[in-house]
Structure 1
Amino acid sequence: MDERIERYFGQEISAEEKEKFEADLKSDPILADDVAFYLASKQAAQHVREIKLAQRHAEWSSQKQPDDARFVSLRTWYAVAAAVAFIAFGLAWYRLAPRSQDLQQLANGYTMENFTTLGVQMGSAEDSLQLAIHNYNRGQYATATAICEGILRKDPQHAEAKRVAGIIALKLLEYDKAIDYFHQLGEQQGLYANPGKFYEAIALLKRGAAGDREKAKDLLHQVIEGNLEGKEEAVKWMD
């Protein structure tokens, strides 16, 4: 668990660290998950303390009613035991149960961080593609798509046009189309850096249809084993 969590809630963190932690919390699903577990643990401990306090109060009150003392004490201890067992089971399940949503959350976080806007290199030799990216950044997705499709009609092997077209489709939630573009890109040979398989895994995770998670995991393993673009993220996601 991130050591910043306890310091953050204990107000033992600098203003700069606090700002960084809160920014990370918005974009890192694993950190958010750890924070949720930390808070649940704190709440569970507080619940046990409250039950024990109630038990002491019941014992004190029972001194005035000796006939009921044993019954009250046993009932309270049963409550404590049940609460502790329930909390222990709940926290263990929380930690050990399969987290089928984690990969999808990571994919969503990655797209938010990396695909909200794309870098533009105005004045480059790829002016048409840069115009498509510029339109994408302005929210003109239909225009951006049309430009990319025009480039691909002239040059079906244009890797960057496939990448951008796939990202646009992903933005529009056209997952089948995005998967197709990224799959074509991932199969393309001779590229210096090829994010196709990694992006295809992201699109599969976001679509979330039957079998998509398994296909995405297989692609992530291929990214890691092939030392492909996206390996750093894939290693973290599959850890």
Structure 2
Amino acid sequence: MMKELERIDDYFAGRLSPADRDRFEATLPHNPALARSVAFYLLARQTARQEARRMLKPLPVRRLPVRMLVAVAACLLLVLGFLTVWQTPPSVREVADQYLSERYGQLPVSLDGQSDSLKTGSQFYNMGEFRKAETVFESMLQREPTHPEALKRAGLVSLRLNQYDQAIERFQRLGQQTDLYANPGIFLEALARLKRGQPMDKNRAKKLLLTVIQGNLEGKKEAGQLVEKIKFN
């Protein structure tokens, strides 16, 4: 890398022989790695000039030959094309993380009819004390294995602790309950599978998200957004 940058610097400083200069210019349009290195060199030099101006110590600006300017322009066009190609969509885990952070970064602790255990566990969750929250919610589930809010919050704690198998199991138990007015279990299971990322998890998550959309279940809007954001096979 350093030798390549030295050659680039020699080119722009006019230190290359005519033959080497011609060879450099002929190679540039067909060598993506060299084009990226030239772009890095130009950006670094421009940054240095800006910093020097800021410190009221301008660097001398040297007029470049026309053929050199043409080569620079060609290089920048190549780099712009590569940057467009390199703009890849976020990974499925990043999309799931973003939603979980926005929607479940904090849990409500003052809902009407909420038990003291739910409040306590949620307070631990909100403070980042996930092990303590896990203990509280697990104790609730031992007493009431089908408690929907305990299953939901315990599953969220499992996600925070990267215990994906346990999170999926809890969300599945929640999603199987058919007597709830609003049930986020299927949607949350999809998120947990996107986070876990095992073989077939992505396709399974897509099916779950489509089930949420087609069944008009809780999380329908978000499920549609995830399907659009994530490139499924």
TM-score range, shorter chain: 0.5 to 0.7
Amino acid at match of 1:205: L
Which residue of the other structure, out of 134, 141, 147, is the alignment partner of 2:130?
141
Structure with larger Rg? 2
> Conserved in 1, the CA contact under 8 Å of 2:146 and 2:173?
no
Q: How does 1:3-42 map to 2 (within 5 A)?
A: none
Match of 1:211 among 188, 196, 200: 200
Counterpart residue number, 2:65: 58
Name the residue aligned to 1:93: 85
Q: Report what 1:172 is aligned to.
A: 161
Between 1:225-234 and 1:148-157, the stretch displaced more is: 148-157
Instruction: Give the counterpart of 2:139 among 122, 133, 150.
Output: 150
Shift of 1:132: 2.1
For 1:188, the equivalent position in structure 2 comes to 177
List per-residue Cα deviations over 1:19-69 (Å, max 9, x = no partner). xxxxxxxxxxxxxxxxxxxxxxxx99x98xx9xxxxx9424xxxxxxxxxx
Distance 2:122 2:72 in 1: 62
Distance change >3 Å, CA 140–CA 76, structure 1 → 2: closer
Q: Distance in 1 between matches of 2:101 and 2:127?
A: 16
CA distance in 2, matches of 1:87, 1:144: 49
Quick check: 128-137 or 214-223, which moved more?
A: 128-137
Write the mapping of 1:82-121 to structure 2, written as runs, cut at 5 A.
83-88=76-81, 90-94=82-86, 99=89, 101=91, 103-121=92-110
TM-score, length of structure 2 as denominator length: 0.62
Q: Which runs of 5+ in 1 are unaligned?
A: 1-42, 51-55, 60-72
Q: Which amino acid aligns with 1:58?
A: P
Distance apart, 1:147 and its partner CA: 2.6
1:76-101 CA-to-partner distances (Å, cap 9, x unmatched) read: 6466445424532x144235x6x361
Q: Is the 8 A contact 2:95 2:226 kept in 1?
A: yes
Which has more helix, going by share of residues? 1
Q: TM-score, normalised by structure 1?
A: 0.60
Instruction: Mark the CA change 1:85 to 1:139 in structure 2 (over 3 Å): closer, same or farther.
Output: closer
What is the distance in 2 between the residues matched to 1:176 and 1:146?
A: 17
Gapped regions of structure 2 (runs ≥ 5): 1-38, 47-62, 229-233
